[in-house]
Amino acid sequence: MTLRQAIDKGVATAGAVGATPDNADLFFRASEGRGTVFRGVDPKRLTRALKLGDKQFITFVQAVGYPKARADLAV
């Protein structure tokens, strides 16, 4: 399997389980008072940093953190 085929397979898999990021977002917002956001990353750099194997690859990154306080949302 080429890297391109692996990426295509991974993207298809990620699409098939697309509810997972939504569920994570709902959990963190409702239960933990945190927010999530999808992040753009350099997949090659992150692959090296995480020391992923030849059959592992990045499909997306979802960061979790505390939302910035917004005065415009205050009641």
Strand, coil or helix: 25: helix
- The list of the chain residues with pLDDT below 50 reads 75
For the record, the structure tokens of 31 come out as 């239960």
Q: Give the pLDDT confidence score for residue 13 in this predicted structure.
A: 66
Indicate the pTM of the whole model: 0.52
- The rounded distance, in Å, linking the Cα atoms of 15 and 66 is 27
- The rounded distance, in Å, linking the Cα atoms of 50 and 45 is 9
